[in-house]
Each structure stands twice: as C-alpha cells, then as structure tokens.
Amino acid sequence: AQSVSQHNHHVILSEAASLELGCNYSYGGTVNLFWYVQYPGQHLQLLLKYFSGDPLVKGIKGFEAEFIKSKFSFNLRKPSVQWSDTAEYFCAASSGNTPLVFGKGTRLSVIA
Amino acid sequence: GAVVSQHPSRVICKSGTSVKIECRSLDFQATTMFWYRQFPKKSLMLMATSNEGSKATYEQGVEKDKFLINHASLTLSTLTVTSAHPEDSSFYICSARAPGQGWDGDTGELFFGEGSRLTVL
C-alpha cells in the first residue's frame, strides 16, 4: 500500500537554527509530493509541491524541499527558522489523480 | 488562494444523535472533495472521496452508513455522522480540489477547510 513516513514526531529548535524534516514515501511510478503546514488554530496550507522537473523545489516563507528519487525522499528544509514557524508539518503524496496520503506529521517548536 | 469553509468548527452532541458538517468551496467549483479524520498526534486519515452528483467513494474500514456524505452541488459537500458515539469524537477536515491548472496528471491543488471538532458525550 502507498504510504508516507515522517520520522520526526516533535522537533525543537532555537531561532536561527537550520531545519530539515524527513519524509519518505512508498509509491511506484510517478509521484506527486507536497508539504503542508498547519499553524496553531489554523487550517492546512500548502508550503510547496513537486510534480516534475527540478527536484529542488522552493516554496513559501523560505522553505524548500528536495526530491531524491533514489532515496524515495522529499525532505523539507529551511536555513534559518523563526518563532513564527512553530507549527505542524505534513508531508503528503499522490499518484496521478489519487487522493493524497499524508504522513503522521512533525510538530516543530521554535524557541527564542 | 482559494477558500474552503467548514461549519460548524466545533460541535458537541449526545451519544445517539446525528451531526451534519458542511464544507463549502467559496470561490471555485470543486468537482471533488475529500473528507479526512485527524486523530490526536496522528496523521490525517482519508475517509472518503466525494464527487459532485454521484455516490462517495469510501476508504476501507470506513462505515458508509455511519458517515453519510452528500455532494449535491459543485460548492457544497456534507458529512453526517449518524448515531454518534464517543469513539466518533475527532477532528474532521474537508478539502476541495481546485480545477487542474495544466500540471501533469491534471492534479489540482487541494485546499483545506478549518476543520470541525466533534465531541460526543
């Protein structure tokens, strides 16, 4: 079955630290990959997406993710986090028009 | 971006009653809407795919008679939790797929509602 794994349940970082959240997927064939963010009390928002082309994808708010096909990974990165990045981050995948399958999410806490 | 609105955001009901949650796409027509359930500290679990004008497609393990989904128009889908029990208490989130924008596979971006927290006493 298709699945998405996020390895970190809770990450705590100091402001200005660099961030990398892991995401691995198990899909055969073409895969579409997404990172969503859920700020406290708000709905899910799309950070970035990968469909094809350049495997390094840049999203909003300084986030980027790299699709590494050989590793079945789509890790999310940010060079310097801010307190306002505190949120829950979800990796998701789909194949063609299939519904999104989400990872379990990673809670990021940024402390001053 | 596009807006998806859910109502109510919070609902408390007694065991055995039914609760209806609405999901509306406010500025686009959504031929497909999805209903997810989010458990504490867990992922979003897809419950069903709702297509306008046809029956919903339920994921394995989801009781279709308990979670009634209706997608009567291109901007509205409803989820009715029938004969609710405490174990149905959860956070229910809908999402709507915006029309394809020319990407491979015509997979339009998903927009999510704010979610509805159901508490069954």
**A39-49 residue pLDDT tens:** 987 888 889 98
CB contact under 8 A, B107 and A94: yes
A vs B, Cβ pairs < 8 A, gives 55
CB contact under 8 A, A30 and B113: no
* C-alpha closest to that of B67 among B57, B56, B82, B54: B82
Local confidence band at B105 (pLDDT 50, 70, 90 cut-offs): very low
| C-alpha atoms less than 13 angstroms from C-alpha of A3 in its C-beta half-sphere | 5
Average pLDDT over residues A28-42: 87
**Rounded Cα–Cα distance for residues A47 and A37 (Å):** 6
Q: What whole-number percentage of chain B has pLDDT above 70? A: 88
Q: Per-residue pLDDT for A97 more than 80?
A: no
CB contact under 8 A, A43 and B113: yes
**Mapping DSSP to helix (H, G, I), strand (E, B) and coil, where does residue B87 land?**
helix
CB contact under 8 A, A101 and B46: yes
Local confidence band at B1 (pLDDT 50, 70, 90 cut-offs): low
pLDDT tens string B38-82: 877 667 889 999 888 888 999 999 999 999 999 888 899 999 999
Distant-in-sequence, close-in-space partners of B60: CB < 8 Å, separation ≥ 6: none
Angle value at C-alpha B117, between B116 and B121, nearest 5 degrees: 135
Position B102 scores a pLDDT of 41
Q: Per-residue pLDDT for B106 more than 50?
A: no
Out of B34, B93, B103, closest to residue A99 by CB: B34
Residues from chain B contacting residue A30 (CB–CB below 8 Å): 104-105
Token pair recorded at residue A108:
């990021």
SS (H, E, C) B84-121: CCHHHCEEEEEEEECCCCCCHHHCCCEEECCCEEEEEC
A61 backbone dihedrals φ, ψ, rounded to 5° = 60, 30
